[in-house]
C-alpha cells in the first residue's frame, strides 16, 4: 500500500477530501472533520452542467464558503450510489436523482437521508417535495415534430401519432417502457387522469399497432436530439430539454404538449460524513431565485412556482411547468414506476425483440 | 524493453544453474490477472447464484439460459460476431498483405491510415456514421443525386455488421501483420522459380504460412465482437440487440446484479467454449504450442485445409493465366486504396464537422468557424481529461508490455503443460464485457482504496489491454527463430548482446505494435474509466461520453480532431525513436 501514497497525497493536495476518504479508510475521520469545507455533487453533466454551476454551485459557495466539486454521473446513478454507500466510499455526497431512483434507493435498506427542508409545499409543483428528495428541474415527456420534411398534417396528440394513415411521416419512439406505455394508452383513448395504475395489456396491445411504423427506437437523450435535429424522424416522443436543444440549434422543431412530466432532483447519500453541508446545499437549491437562474439557462422548468417571477415571459413559453404548457401534462407516477419498472422493462424488451 | 532483456539475462543465468523453466516468467501476469480479473469475476459468479438475502439459487442462471429472449439475443450475438469475424479476415487479409509488402515510410504511412480509425473511439465513429448515413445525411444525398432513393441506411443488420467490421478491421490487420511480415519472401521467389504463378504462390505458400496470424486475428475479432454494445445500441434496431446491452440494462437500469451477473457468466462460458471449438477447428493451439512447427500434421481439418489451399492454388493458376503480375498488383492496390478510404471516412468526416459554426453536427459543414476549438481549449475539464488520458495510456502501455511480454516469452520458451491455461487466462479479459469487468473492479477497488485514483484506472485498462498486447507479442515471439540466439551464442556473443543485437531489432516491430496497442486500448477505453474513475478522474473518452450523452455538439468533433493530432504526435515521436535506434544500431 505504501506505493499508493503519492496518489493519496496528490489527491489531498487537490483538496479532494472525498476521494481521500475513499482512498484511505483510515483517513475517514479526518476527512469528516474537514467536512464543512467542501462537498461533492454528482450531476448528469454535459450541457446542463454550466447552468447548475451558475444557478446553484457558485452562489452556494459564495454564500456559505463551502466549495462544491461537481462530477458527472450516469443518467441512472442508482447502481453507483448503492455501491458507494455499501462500500462506505463517499466519493459523492449529493446526487441528481429522479423520484424513480429514490424509490429504488429506498426499496431495500434505505440509501437516502432526510433533508429537513423548510418550505411551503403549496408553492411547489406537485410531487417535487419529499422528505428525502428535492425536485428542482421539471422536464416533460411529450411529442416533438420536425416540420422540415413532414409529409402531411401536424399531429396534435398521441392519438394522431398512432394514426399512420392521416398523419404520415417517419416516427421515433423511446426504447423503454418508461413513458412509452403511457403514450400508448393516451393514444388508445385513456384519459390522463385514469392512466395509473397502467393497464399494461392494453398498452402493449396499443403498441402492437404502431410497432412496424416506428423507424427509430432511440436509446439515449442525445440520440433523441440528433434524430430530431437532423430530420431523421418527423415525429418522436422526447424530453423537453432534448427537443429544445434541437430547436435552439435551428431545426424546425415544434412541441406538442401532450404527455407527462417528471422531475430531476437532489438526494443526499446515507452516512456521508458531510451530511450537514449536503443538506444545506439542497435547501439552497429550493430557493425560487436560484431556480429561476437555472431555468433561464436550460429548458427545464423550476419546481418553485415563484421562480416565474424572475423568468422572462418569452422564456417561460418553452418551459414545461409554464402555466399554458403544464395543462396538457400529467405527473408521471414514480411510485408506480418504482414498483413496476423492472418487470415492465423485461416485458417491453421481450415484446420488442420477440414480436 | 530494457527490463525484458534484463530478465532474459537473469533467466539465462538461472537456467545455467538450475534449469529454470521460463514458463515462470508468466507468474507476474498470472498473479496480476488472478487478483484483478479472476477474483472480481468470482465475486460476480458468486452473485449470479445467490439471492440478495444470501441463499443459494439457480433461478438467475435458469432464466439466462431458458429459450426465449436471452437465448435469441445470445444467438444474435454469436451470428453477428461470426459475420464480423469473417468480413474482417476476408477483407483485412489482403490489406494486411498489401501493408506487409510495402517498405519503410510508405508502410508506416499506410499502417497509420489503417490504425487511425481504430484509435478513434467507437462512440465517435458511430456518431459520425449516424450523421453520414442519416436520412438527410451526406450518403443519402449522394445516392439521391445519382437517382437512387435508399429507404433507410441506419438501424439494420447490415449497418451494424458494417460498422462493427469497420471498427474491428484495423485490429485484424495489426494482428495478422507481424505474421505476414515474418514470411520469408525468398520462399515465394523460390516457388516462382519452381513455376508457380503469383496466385498459386499465394494459395499454396503465403496463405498456409500466414495461417497463424489469420487464426489469431479471427479469434480476437470474434471474442471482441461478442462484448460489443455501443454499435448495436446506436446503429442497430431492436432486432440487432446483443447480449452486452442486456447485461448493461440489468445492472445499470434494473439494478438486478444477480441477473446481470448470470448473463455475464453465460456469455463468458459460451465464449470459452467458442475458443475451445476455434482451437480444435482452426488450430489456434499452434500459437501456444512449443516450437514453430504445427503439431498436428495429420489432423483431418488441417489436411482438409491444406488440400483446399492446394486446390485454390490450381484454380488460381488456371484463372490467373490471363492476368499478368502487374494487373494483379494494380487490382490489389485499388482494393487497398478503396478499403483505406472507407476506413478513414468517419474519422476524416469529423475534421470539417469540427469547424461548423452552429451547434449542429453537419457534413459538410454549413457555416465555418473555430469557436468549438476555442471552447475546447478554454475549458479546464477538457484539458485535464486529455492530460490524464495521455498519462494513463502511457502507464498502461508500459505495464501491459512488461507483464504481457514476460508471459508471451514464457509460453514461447517455457516447458510443461501450463501453456494453454496461461494462454486462455491472458485472453479472457476480451470475452468479458467491459461493463462486467468495470463493475466487479469497482467492488474490489473500493475495498482496497483504488477507486477514483489514476492507478485504479491504469490497472483496469491494463487488464482490458492485456489480451491484444499479449497476442501481438506472442505472434511476434512465435514467428521469431529462437535458434538465431543459439547461433549467436555459439559465435561468442553474450546473452545480452544476442538480445540487443539480434532479438530486439528483429522483434522491434512487434514490440512497438504491442506498446502502441496498449496505449490506444487505454486511450479510447470508456467503461472502466466510467466506474473506476468514480467521476473524479475524468479521462478523455469519459468527457466525450458526457457531452455526447447530453448534447452532441461539434465540440466532440473538435475533441476528436485533437485526439487525431495527439495520436499523430505520438506516432511521430515513435517513428523518430525508431529512426534513432536504427542509426544507433548502425553506429
pLDDT digits (tens, 9 = 90+) for A204-226: 999 999 999 999 998 877 788 88
- Residue pair A187/A162 in contact (Cβ under 8 Å)? The answer is yes
Q: How far is Cα A56 from Cα B533, in angstroms, rounded to an integer?
A: 25
Q: How far is Cα A188 from Cα A208, in angstroms, rounded to an integer?
A: 12
Identify the closest residue of chain B to A337 by CA–CA distance: B254
Helix, strand, or coil (residue A208): helix
Of the partner residues A47, A149, A251, the one whose CB lies closest to the CB of residue B550: A47
Closest CA to A142 of A20, A310, A259, A33: A259
Work out the number of other CB atoms within 10 angstroms of the CB of residue B7: 18
Shortest distance between the Cα of A189 and any Cα of chain B, in A, equals 27
- Residue pair A197/A101 in contact (Cβ under 8 Å)? The answer is no
Taking residues B148-175, report their average pLDDT.
85
Q: What is the CA radius of gyration of chain B?
A: 24
At residue B237, φ and ψ (nearest 5 deg) are -95, -175
Identify the closest residue of chain A to B441 by CA–CA distance: A83
A267 beta partners: A95
Q: Which residue has the higher pLDDT, B462 or B525?
A: B462
Q: How far is Cα B550 from Cα A242, in angstroms, rounded to an integer?
A: 8
Q: Which residue has the higher pLDDT, A22 or B149?
A: B149
**Residue B380 touches partner A, C-beta closer than 8 Å:** no
- Relative to beta strand A133-146, strand A235-239 is antiparallel
Shortest distance between the Cα of A258 and any Cα of chain B, in A, equals 23
- Relative to beta strand A253-268, strand A94-97 is antiparallel
Subunit contact A44:B550, Cβ cutoff 8 A: yes
- For B543, the grid coordinates are 468527457
Work out the number of other CB atoms within 10 angstroms of the CB of residue B24: 16
Q: What is the pLDDT of residue A155?
A: 97
**Residue B357 touches partner A, C-beta closer than 8 Å:** no
For chain B, positions 147-166, list CB contacts with chain A under 8 A: 152, 154-155
- Residues of chain A with pLDDT > 90, as a percent, come to 56
**Residue A51 touches partner B, C-beta closer than 8 Å:** no
Shortest distance between the Cα of A158 and any Cα of chain B, in A, equals 22
- Relative to beta strand A235-239, strand A67-72 is unpaired
pLDDT above 80 for B259: yes
**Residue A11 touches partner B, C-beta closer than 8 Å:** yes
CATH architecture of B58-347: Orthogonal Bundle (1.10)
Of the partner residues A47, A91, A346, the one whose CB lies closest to the CB of residue B535: A91
A317, burial (CB in 10 Å: exposed 0-12, middle 13-18, buried 19+): exposed
Q: How far is Cα B84 from Cα B75, in angstroms, rounded to an integer?
A: 14
For chain A, positions 230-249, list CB contacts with chain B under 8 A: 230-233, 242, 245, 248-249
A145 beta partners: A235, A254
Which spans in B120-210 are helix H?
Answer: 122-133, 138-145, 157-181, 185-193, 198-201, 207-209
Q: How far is Cα B264 from Cα B294, in angstroms, rounded to an integer?
A: 34
pLDDT above 50 for A1: no
Taking residues B531-556, report their average pLDDT.
75
CATH superfamily to which A139-262+328-354 belongs: Periplasmic binding protein-like II (3.40.190.10)
At residue A67, φ and ψ (nearest 5 deg) are -75, 140
Domains of chain A, by residue range, sit at 2-137+264-319, 139-262+328-354
Identify the closest residue of chain B to A243 by CA–CA distance: B551
**Residue A215 touches partner B, C-beta closer than 8 Å:** yes
**Residue B392 touches partner A, C-beta closer than 8 Å:** no
Give the pLDDT band of residue B582 (cuts 50, 70, 90): low
**Residue B139 touches partner A, C-beta closer than 8 Å:** no
Q: What is the pLDDT of residue A46?
A: 63
Render pLDDT for A285-340 as a digit per residue (tens, 0 to 9).
999 999 999 999 888 999 999 999 999 988 888 898 887 888 889 999 988 988 89
Render pLDDT for A138-163 as a digit per residue (tens, 0 to 9).
999 999 999 998 988 999 999 999 99
CATH number given to A2-137+264-319 = 3.40.190.10
The single residue listed with the C-alpha cell 475521520 is: A29
Q: Which residue has the higher pLDDT, B548 or B505?
A: B505
**Residue A222 touches partner B, C-beta closer than 8 Å:** yes
Of the partner residues A45, A170, A251, the one whose CB lies closest to the CB of residue B135: A170
Q: How far is Cα B428 from Cα B276, in angstroms, rounded to an integer?
A: 12
Give the pLDDT band of residue B551 (cuts 50, 70, 90): low
Q: How far is Cα B83 from Cα B446, in angstroms, rounded to an integer?
A: 39
Subunit contact B536:A16, Cβ cutoff 8 A: yes
Give the pLDDT band of residue A350 (cuts 50, 70, 90): confident
- Relative to beta strand A253-268, strand A329-331 is parallel
Subunit contact B552:A222, Cβ cutoff 8 A: yes
- CATH 1.10.3720.10 range(s) for chain B read 15-38+383-543, 58-347
Q: What is the pLDDT of residue B533?
A: 78
Of the partner residues B72, B136, B536, the one whose CB lies closest to the CB of residue A91: B536
Which spans in B236-379 are helix H?
Answer: 243-248, 257-282, 285-288, 300-320, 325-348, 350-354, 371-378
CA B111 to chain centre: 15
User: Taking CB atoms and an 8 Å cutoff, what residues of chain B touch A98?
Assistant: none
- For A43, the grid coordinates are 450531476
Subunit contact B536:A19, Cβ cutoff 8 A: yes
Q: How far is Cα B95 from Cα B176, in angstroms, rounded to an integer?
A: 10
- Residues of chain B with pLDDT > 90, as a percent, come to 16
Q: Which residue has the higher pLDDT, A27 or B193?
A: B193
Q: How far is Cα A284 from Cα A117, in angstroms, rounded to an integer?
A: 10
User: Taking CB atoms and an 8 Å cutoff, what residues of chain A touch B438?
Assistant: none
Closest CA to A130 of A121, A139, A138: A121
Give the pLDDT band of residue A114 (cuts 50, 70, 90): very high
pLDDT-wise least confident of A268-282, A303-317, B16-30, B516-530: B16-30
Q: What is the pLDDT of residue A147?
A: 95
- For B307, the grid coordinates are 488440400
Largest CA distance in chain B: 78
A329, burial (CB in 10 Å: exposed 0-12, middle 13-18, buried 19+): buried
Mean pLDDT of chain B: 80
Closest CA to B135 of B107, B154, B148, B114: B154
Work out the number of other CB atoms within 10 angstroms of the CB of residue A122: 8
A–B interface: beta-carbon pairs under 8 A:
173
Most B CBs within 10 A among A9, A16, A19, A233, hence the mutation to make, goes to A19
A329 beta partners: A259
The single residue listed with the C-alpha cell 418553452 is: A318
Q: What is the pLDDT of residue B388?
A: 92
- For A34, the grid coordinates are 474537514
Render pLDDT for A13-65 as a digit per residue (tens, 0 to 9).
333 333 333 333 333 333 444 445 889 999 887 667 888 999 999 999 999 99
Identify the closest residue of chain A to B126 by CA–CA distance: A223
**Residue A46 touches partner B, C-beta closer than 8 Å:** yes
- For A138, the grid coordinates are 421539471
Distance separating the N- and C-terminal Cα atoms of chain A: 54
Taking residues A73-97, report their average pLDDT.
83
User: Taking CB atoms and an 8 Å cutoff, what residues of chain A touch B556?
Assistant: none
**Residue A352 touches partner B, C-beta closer than 8 Å:** yes
Strand segments (E) across A81-240: 94-97, 129-130, 133-146, 171-174, 214-218, 235-239
ω into B364 cis (within 30 of 0): yes
Identify the closest residue of chain B to A233 by CA–CA distance: B135
Give the pLDDT band of residue B320 (cuts 50, 70, 90): low
Helix, strand, or coil (residue B230): helix
For chain B, positions 71-100, list CB contacts with chain A under 8 A: 72-73
Q: How far is Cα A88 from Cα A83, in angstroms, rounded to an integer?
A: 8
Taking residues B118-136, report their average pLDDT.
79
Q: How far is Cα B135 from Cα B138, in angstroms, rounded to an integer?
A: 9
Q: What is the pLDDT of residue B325?
A: 74
pLDDT above 80 for B8: no
Annotate B534-553 with DSSP letters as a single string.
TTTS--HHHHHHHHHHH---
pLDDT above 80 for B387: yes
Pick the CATH number of B15-38+383-543 from 1.50.10.10, 1.10.3720.10, 3.30.465.10, 3.20.20.70: 1.10.3720.10
Q: What is the pLDDT of residue B322?
A: 59
Give the pLDDT band of residue B550 (cuts 50, 70, 90): low
Enumerate long-range contacts of A112-118, CB under 8 Å, 24 or more apart.
A112/A267, A112/A268, A112/A269, A112/A270, A113/A267, A113/A268, A113/A269, A113/A270, A113/A271, A113/A272, A113/A275, A113/A278, A113/A279, A115/A268, A115/A279, A115/A282, A115/A283, A116/A279, A116/A283, A117/A282, A117/A283, A117/A286, A118/A283
Q: How far is Cα B206 from Cα B136, in angstroms, rounded to an integer?
A: 45
pLDDT above 50 for A12: no
Helix, strand, or coil (residue B114): helix
Give the pLDDT band of residue B126 (cuts 50, 70, 90): confident
pLDDT above 60 for B529: yes
Q: How far is Cα B543 from Cα B555, in angstroms, rounded to an integer?
A: 11
For chain B, positions 255-274, list CB contacts with chain A under 8 A: 255-256
Q: Which residue has the higher pLDDT, B152 or A310?
A: A310
**Residue A152 touches partner B, C-beta closer than 8 Å:** no
The single residue listed with the C-alpha cell 532479438 is: B503
- Relative to beta strand A133-146, strand A253-268 is antiparallel
Q: How far is Cα B40 from Cα B46, in angstroms, rounded to an integer?
A: 10
Largest CA distance in chain A: 71
Mean pLDDT of chain A: 85
Amino acid at each position: 500500500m505504501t506505493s499508493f501514497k503519492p496518489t493519496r497525497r496528490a489527491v489531498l493536495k487537490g483538496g479532494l477530501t472525498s476521494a481521500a476518504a475513499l482512498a484511505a479508510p483510515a483517513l475517514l475521520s479526518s476527512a469528516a472533520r474537514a467536512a464543512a469545507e467542501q462537498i461533492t455533487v454528482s450531476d448528469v453533466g454535459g450541457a446542463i452542467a454550466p447552468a447548475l454551476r451558475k444557478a446553484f454551485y457558485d452562489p452556494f459557495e459564495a454564500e456559505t464558503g463551502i466549495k462544491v466539486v461537481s462530477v458527472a454521473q450516469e443518467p441512472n446513478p442508482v447502481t453507483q450510489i448503492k455501491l458507494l454507500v455499501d462500500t462506505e466510499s463517499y466519493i459523492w455526497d449529493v446526487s441528481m436523482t429522479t423520484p424513480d431512483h429514490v424509490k429504488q434507493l429506498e426499496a431495500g435498506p434505505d440509501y437516502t437521508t432526510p433533508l429537513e427542508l423548510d418550505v411551503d409545499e403549496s408553492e411547489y409543483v406537485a410531487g417535487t417535495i419529499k422528505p428525502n428528495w428535492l425536485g428542482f428541474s421539471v422536464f416533460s415527456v411529450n411529442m416533438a415534430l420536425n416540420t422540415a420534411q413532414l409529409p402531411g398534417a401536424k399531429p396534435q396528440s398521441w392519438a394522431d401519432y398512432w394514426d399512420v394513415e392521416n398523419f404520415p411521416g417517419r416516427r421515433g419512439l423511446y426504447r423503454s417502457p418508461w413513458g412509452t406505455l403511457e403514450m400508448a394508452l393516451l393514444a388508445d383513448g385513456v384519459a390522463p387522469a385514469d392512466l395509473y395504475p397502467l393497464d399494461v395489456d392494453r398498452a402493449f396491445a396499443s403498441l402492437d399497432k404502431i410497432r412496424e411504423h416506428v423507424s427509430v427506437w432511440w436509446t439515449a437523450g442525445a440520440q433523441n436530439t440528433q434524430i430530431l435535429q437532423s430530420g431523421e424522424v418527423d415525429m418522436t416522443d422526447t424530453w423537453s430539454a432534448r427537443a429544445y436543444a434541437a430547436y435552439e440549434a435551428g431545426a424546425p422543431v415544434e412541441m406538442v404538449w401532450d404527455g407527462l412530466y417528471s422531475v430531476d432532483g437532489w438526494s443526499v447519500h446515507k452516512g456521508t460524513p458531510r451530511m450537514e453541508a449536503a443538506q444545506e446545499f439542497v435547501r439552497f437549491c429550493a430557493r425560487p431565485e436560484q431556480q429561476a437562474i437555472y431555468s433561464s439557462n436550460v429548458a427545464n422548468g423550476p419546481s418553485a412556482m415563484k421562480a416565474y417571477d424572475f423568468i422572462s415571459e418569452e422564456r417561460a413559453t418553452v418551459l414545461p411547468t409554464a402555466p399554458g404548457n403544464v395543462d396538457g401534462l400529467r405527473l408521471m407516477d414514480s411510485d408506480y414506476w418504482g414498483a413496476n419498472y423492472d418487470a415492465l422493462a423485461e416485458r417491453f424488451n421481450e415484446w420488442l425483440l420477440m414480436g | 524493453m530494457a527490463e525484458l532483456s534484463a530478465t532474459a539475462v537473469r533467466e539465462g543465468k538461472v537456467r545455467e544453474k538450475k534449469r529454470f523453466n521460463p514458463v515462470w516468467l508468466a507468474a507476474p501476469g498470472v498473479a496480476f490477472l488472478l487478483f484483478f480479473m479472476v477474483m472480481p469475476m468470482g465475486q460476480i459468479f458468486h452473485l449470479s447464484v445467490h439471492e440478495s438475502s444470501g441463499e443459494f439459487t439457480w433461478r438467475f442462471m435458469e432464466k439466462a439460459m431458458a429459450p426465449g429472449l436471452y437465448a435469441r439475443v445470445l444467438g444474435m450475438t454469436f451470428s453477428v460476431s461470426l459475420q464480423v469475424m469473417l468480413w474482417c479476415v476476408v477483407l483485412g487479409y489482403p490489406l494486411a498483405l498489401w501493408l506487409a509488402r510495402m517498405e519503410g515510410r510508405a508502410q508506416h504511412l499506410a499502417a497509420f491510415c489503417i490504425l487511425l480509425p481504430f484509435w478513434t473511439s467507437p462512440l465517435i465513429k458511430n456518431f459520425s456514421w449516424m450523421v453520414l448515413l442519416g436520412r438527410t445525411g451526406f450518403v443519402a444525398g449522394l445516392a439521391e443525386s445519382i437517382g437512387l432513393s435508399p429507404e433507410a441506411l441506419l438501424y439494420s443488420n447490415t449497418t451494424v455488421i458494417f460498422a462493427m467490421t469497420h471498427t474491428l478491421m484495423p485490429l485484424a490487420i495489426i494482428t495478422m501483420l507481424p505474421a505476414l511480415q515474418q514470411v520469408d519472401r525468398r520462399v515465394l521467389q523460390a516457388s516462382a522459380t519452381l513455376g508457380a504463378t503469383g496466385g498459386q504462390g499465394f494459395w499454396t505458400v503465403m496463405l498456409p504460412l500466414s495461417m497463424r496470424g489469420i487464426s489469431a486475428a479471427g479469434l480476437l475479432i470474434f471474442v471482441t465482437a461478442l462484448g460489443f454494445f455501443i454499435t448495436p445500441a446506436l446503429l442497430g434496431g431492436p432486432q440487432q440487440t446483443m447480449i452486452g446491452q442486456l447485461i448493461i440494462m440489468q445492472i445499470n437500469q434494473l439494478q438486478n446484479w444477480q441477473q446481470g451477473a448470470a448473463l455475464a457468466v453465460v456469455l463468458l462460458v459460451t465464449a470459452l467454449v467458442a475458443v475451445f471449438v476455434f482451437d480444435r477447428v482452426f488450430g489456434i493451439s499452434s500459437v501456444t504450442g512449443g516450437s514453430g512447427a504445427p503439431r498436428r500434421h495429420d489432423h483431418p481439418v488441417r489436411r482438409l485445409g491444406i488440400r483446399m489451399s492446394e486446390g485454390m492454388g490450381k484454380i488460381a493458376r488456371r484463372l490467373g493465366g490471363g492476368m499478368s503480375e502487374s494487373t494483379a498488383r494494380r487490382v490489389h492496390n485499388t482494393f487497398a486504396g478503396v478499403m483505406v478510404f472507407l476506413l478513414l471516412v468517419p474519422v476524416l468526416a469529423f475534421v470539417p464537422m469540427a469547424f461548423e459554426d452552429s451547434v449542429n453536427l453537419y457534413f459538410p459543414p454549413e457555416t465555418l468557424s473555430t469557436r468549438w476549438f476555442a471552447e475546447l481549449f478554454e475549458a479546464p475539464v477538457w484539458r485535464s481529461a486529455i492530460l490524464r488520458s495521455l498519462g494513463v495510456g502511457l502507464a498502461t502501455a508500459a505495464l501491459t508490455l512488461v507483464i504481457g511480454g514476460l508471459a508471451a516469452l514464457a509460453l514461447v520458451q517455457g516447458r510443461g503443460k501450463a501453456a494453454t491455461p496461461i494462454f486462455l487466462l491472458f485472453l479472457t479479459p476480451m470475452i468479458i464485457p467491459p461493463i462486467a469487468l468495470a463493475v466487479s473492479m469497482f467492488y474490489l477497488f473500493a475495498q482496497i482504496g483504488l477507486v477514483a485514483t489514476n492507478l485504479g484506472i491504469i490497472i483496469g485498462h491494463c487488464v482490458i489491454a492485456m489480451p491484444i498486447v499479449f497476442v501481438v507479442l506472442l505472434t511476434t515471439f512465435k514467428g521469431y527463430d529462437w535458434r538465431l540466439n543459439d547461433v549467436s551464442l555459439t559465435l561468442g556473443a553474450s546473452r545480452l548482446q544476442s538480445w540487443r543485437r539480434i532479438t530486439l531489432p528483429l522483434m522491434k516491430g512487434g514490440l512497438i505494435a504491442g506498446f502502441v496497442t496498449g496505449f490506444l486500448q487505454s486511450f479510447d477505453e470508456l467503461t472502466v474509466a466510467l466506474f473506476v474513475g468514480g467521476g473524479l478522474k475524468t479521462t478523455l473518452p469519459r468527457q466525450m461520453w458526457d457531452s455526447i450523452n447530453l448534447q452532441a455538439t461539434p465540440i466532440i468533433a473538435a475533441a476528436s480532431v485533437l485526439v487525431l493530432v495527439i495520436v499523430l504526435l505520438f506516432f511521430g515521436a515513435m517513428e523518430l525513436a525508431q529512426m534513432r535506434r536504427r542509426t544507433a544500431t548502425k553506429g
